[in-house]
Amino acid sequence: MKAKDAMTSPAVAVPLGTSLREAAEIMLQKRIGSLLVVDGEGRVIGIVTESDFLKEKAIPFSTFRAPLLLGRFLGKDSVEKLLAEAHTVRVEEIMTSPVHTVTPETPLGEALRLMLDYDINHVPVVDGEGRPLGILTRFDLLRFLKDRL
């Protein structure tokens, strides 16, 4: 069993320069937990996950999903200012890079070991040029195993 047998394809990718607001809209619309960030040649150079939105650099943006909670601590004007900043923060400012990747031929056990060793939930599956073919998530592995039990 190989990565290609369990991966979700295609993976969703965004170019450098994408705002956090745009990234969040894509993730929410597609109901996915990560976006790959690609360079001008389409090679994976980073990954943005749900947890990256809580990083210090993205904290102003985190109010996009929880303005009422923060509204308890901040005045209305402060929340609106923080929400406006979501348009200026870019994915490259919060993405994880470099990214651990696998190929379609990587054994599933090896991919799982990578996820466990680095405590990651999403591993891009890339071709020989580093371009995304799919993504392997812990959910994908669980679904794959369930279908075989």
Q: What range does the domain containing 134 cover?
A: 3-148
List pLDDT tens digits, range 87-141.
677 899 889 999 999 999 999 999 999 999 999 999 999 999 999 999 999 888 8
Q: How many domains does the chain have?
A: 1
Examine the pLDDT at 67 and tell me if it is beyond 60: no
Mean pLDDT for the stretch of residues 8-20:
94
- What is the pLDDT, as a whole number, of residue 69? 45
Instruction: Tell me the CATH number at 79.
Output: 3.10.580.10
> What's the pTM?
0.78
Residue 124 to residue 106: CA distance in whole angstroms: 12
Tokens 């599956």 belong to: 125
**Phi, psi dihedral angles at 44 (to 5 degrees):** -70, 125
Instruction: Characterize the bridge pairing of strands 13-15 and 34-38.
Output: parallel
The pLDDT, as a whole number, for residue 79 is 53
